[in-house]
Structure 1
Amino acid sequence: MKQVLALLLILSGFSASSQVLRKRTVKLMGSRFDITIVANDSLSAEQNIDTVIAEVTRIENLISDWKADSQISQVNKNAGVAPVRVEPEVFALTERAIHFSRLTNGAFDISFAAMDRIWKFDGSMTAMPSPQAIKKSVEKVGYQNIVLDRKQSTIFLKKKGMKIGFGALGEGYATDRCRDMMLARGIKAGIVNGSGDMSTWGKQPDGSDWAIGITNPLHKDTVFAVVPLRQSAVVTSGSYEKFVVFNGKRYAHIINPSTGYPATGVSSVTVFGPSAETANGFSTSLMVLGKEAGLKLIKQHPAYSYIMITDDGQIFSSPDLGIKKHSL
Structure 2
Amino acid sequence: MEKRLWWRLGAVLLLVPALLCGSGCKQGAVKNKTSEKKVELMKEPYKNEEFATGTYVQVLIYDKGHGDADFKVVKDQLNELAAKFEVYEQGESEFDKINAQAGIQPVKVSNITFKLAKALEKYAKSSKGEYNPTVGVMTQLWHIGFSNGQVPSDELVKATLDKVDYKDIVIDDKNQTVFLKKKGMMIEADGIGKGFIAEQLLKTLKKQGVTTAVVNLGGHAYTMGKNPNHKDGFWEVGIANPQLGENQDSPLVGVLMSGHTSFNTTNNYGRYLKAGDKVYSHLFDTKTGYPIETDLLSVTMVGYNPTYDDAYSNVLMNMGLEKGMKYVNDHDELDAVFVTKNKEVHISKHIPGEFELLDKTFKVVEGVAKD
TM range (shorter): 0.7 to 0.9
Q: Deviations over 1:137-190 (max 9, x none)?
A: 333221111111112111111111111111242221111111122223321111
Cα RMSD for the two superposed structures: 2.9
Residue in structure 2 matching 1:37, options 61, 81, 105: 61
Q: Deviations over 1:90-128 (max 9, x none)?
A: 2232122112112222221111112252376789999x7
2:243 matched to 1:226?
no
Higher relative contact order (CA 8 A, sep 6+): 1
Aligned to 1:137: 160
Aligned to 2:318: 288
Distance 2:64 2:144 in 1: 49
How far does residue 306 in structure 1 lie from its aligned partner after superposition? 0.4
Aligned to 1:214: 239
Aligned to 2:265: 236
1:131-280 equivalences in 2 (<5 Å): 131-206=154-229, 208-218=233-243, 219=248, 221-230=250-259, 232-240=261-269, 242=272, 244=274, 251-264=280-293, 265-280=295-310
Checking the alignment, whether the CA contact within 8 Å between 2:12 and 2:221 is kept in structure 1 is no
How far does residue 228 in structure 1 lie from its aligned partner after superposition? 2.5
Deviation beyond 6 Å, 4+ runs, structure 1:
121-126
Residue in structure 2 matching 1:117, options 117, 122, 141: 141
Q: Which moved more, 1:131-140 or 1:306-315?
A: 131-140
Checking the alignment, whether the CA contact within 8 Å between 1:200 and 1:229 is kept in structure 2 is no
1:82-97 equivalences in 2 (<5 Å): 82-97=105-120
Distance 1:296 1:244, change over 3 A: farther
- Which amino acid in structure 1 is aligned with residue 215 of structure 2? V
Checking the alignment, whether the CA contact within 8 Å between 1:168 and 1:197 is kept in structure 2 is no
2:337 matched to 1:313?
no
Residue in structure 2 matching 1:73, options 82, 90, 96: 96
Identity %: 24
Q: Which moved more, 1:263-272 or 1:65-74?
A: 65-74
Checking the alignment, whether the CA contact within 8 Å between 1:9 and 1:211 is kept in structure 2 is yes
- Kindly tell me the number of residue pairs found equivalent between the two proteins: 320
Secondary structure of the residue that 2:204 maps to in structure 1? helix
How far does residue 205 in structure 1 lie from its aligned partner after superposition? 4.3
Distance 2:181 2:262 in 1: 35
Task: Give the TM-score of the pair, scaled to structure 1.
Answer: 0.86
Secondary structure of the residue that 1:159 maps to in structure 2? coil
Residue in structure 2 matching 1:24, options 48, 51, 66: 48
How far does residue 319 in structure 1 lie from its aligned partner after superposition? 2.2
Q: Which moved more, 1:107-116 or 1:236-245?
A: 236-245
Q: Which moved more, 1:304-313 or 1:9-18?
A: 9-18
How far does residue 308 in structure 1 lie from its aligned partner after superposition? 0.9
- Which amino acid in structure 1 is aligned with residue 62 of structure 2? V
Task: Give the TM-score of the pair, scaled to structure 2.
Answer: 0.76
Distance 1:195 1:210, change over 3 A: same
Q: Which has the higher helix share?
A: 1
Aligned to 1:7: 12
Structure 1 unaligned residues grouped into runs of 5+: none
Secondary structure of the residue that 2:226 maps to in structure 1? coil
Secondary structure of the residue that 1:200 maps to in structure 2? strand
Secondary structure of the residue that 1:117 maps to in structure 2? helix
